[in-house]
Amino acid sequence: MTNTPTAVLVHGAFADAGSWSGVVAELQKQGIPVLAPPNPLRGLAHDAAYIASVAAQVNGPVVLIGHSYGGAVVTVAGAAENVVGLVYIAAYIPEEGESLGELQGRFPLSSLVSNLKEWTYPVAGADPAVEFTIQADKFPTIFAADVPAPVTEVLAVSQRPLAASAFAEPASTAAWQTKPSWALVAAADEAINPEVERFGAKRAGSTTLELEGASHAVAVSRPKEVADLIREAVRATS
C-alpha cells in the first residue's frame, strides 16, 4: 500500500473522463497515481455509490476530484473510508440534504439553464426517463469559451447527458464536513454561476483558488493549474 493518495478524477455532466486528459498527463508527470473512471450520470445516489465503490477498490488513500456535477458526486462518495480529501473544480458543493436545484436557486441562474436540450432514455419496467444535454450550438460559449473552436465542435456533439432527476435529488451526506477540501472557482463560468462555486467553497471551508477568464471547461483549457491544485491536496493528505 502506498502512502501517496491516488487522485480519482470524477467528470461532470455533458462530458466524459476524456475531459481530464490534460490533467492526467500533468499528474502522471509529477508521479501522482491517477484514475479517471466514468461517472454514470444517472442520479446522485446511484453515481456516488458507483464512485465510492471505485475508491474503495483503490489500494491506499484516495483524493476525490469532482468537476461540475461531479462535485456533488464526490461530496457524497467522499464518505468512503479511504477518501482523505476532496477537490472541487468549477463544481457544485452541496450541503447534506440539499439538492443541486436548491443550491443553484440561491443565485441568479446561469446561461446553461435556458439552453438545455431534453432527451429520453428507456427504464426497465417504467416510463422513459428524461435527461439533458446542452444545445450543441450554444455549447462553446456556455461550456468552453476559452477552448479552441475545433475542440469545442467535437465536445458539443459528444456530450454525455445527465438524468433530470439528478437536479432534484438531495445529497445524503457531505464529506467536506469531516475531510479537508480544496476548490477552484472558474471566474468566467457560464454553466455554473461562479457565485455558486464561491459560496460552496466558503461554506465547506475549502482552500480556494480562483482563475480569472476560466470557463467551465477549465480542466481542458488550463490543465496545469488544475493539476497543481490537485497536487497540493495530494501532498497535504499524504
pLDDT in tens, 157-210: 999 999 999 999 999 999 999 999 999 999 999 999 999 999 999 999 999 999
Instruction: Give the CB-side neighbour count of residue 174, counting CA atoms within 13 A.
Output: 20
C-alpha cell at 208: 480556494
Position 195 scores a pLDDT of 98
**Total residue length of the chain:** 238
User: CA angle at residue 102 from 99 to 103, to 5 degrees?
Assistant: 90
Tens of pLDDT, residue by residue over 94-153, are: 999 999 999 999 999 999 999 999 999 999 999 999 999 999 999 999 999 999 999 999
Pairwise CA distance, residues 142 & 164, whole Å: 19
Position 120 scores a pLDDT of 98
Pairwise CA distance, residues 158 & 36, whole Å: 18
Average pLDDT over residues 7-12: 98
Tens of pLDDT, residue by residue over 31-45, are: 999 999 999 999 999
Residue 7: closest CA among 174, 173, 182, 160: 182
Position 10 scores a pLDDT of 99
Pairwise CA distance, residues 216 & 90, whole Å: 6
Pairwise CA distance, residues 174 & 106, whole Å: 18
The chain-wide mean pLDDT, for the chain, equals 97
What sign results for the dihedral spanned by CA atoms 193, 68, 48, 163?
Answer: positive
State which CATH number among 3.20.20.70, 3.40.630.30, 1.10.620.20, 3.40.50.1820 fits the domain covering 6-237: 3.40.50.1820
Residue with cell 483549457: 221
Position 153 scores a pLDDT of 95
Pairwise CA distance, residues 110 & 175, whole Å: 26
Position 3 scores a pLDDT of 87
Rounded to the nearest 10°, the torsion over CA 55, 61, 66, 71 is 80
Instruction: Give the CB-side neighbour count of residue 92, counting CA atoms within 13 A.
Output: 31
pLDDT at 13 over 60: yes
Q: 2: pLDDT confidence band, cut at 50, 70 and 90?
A: low
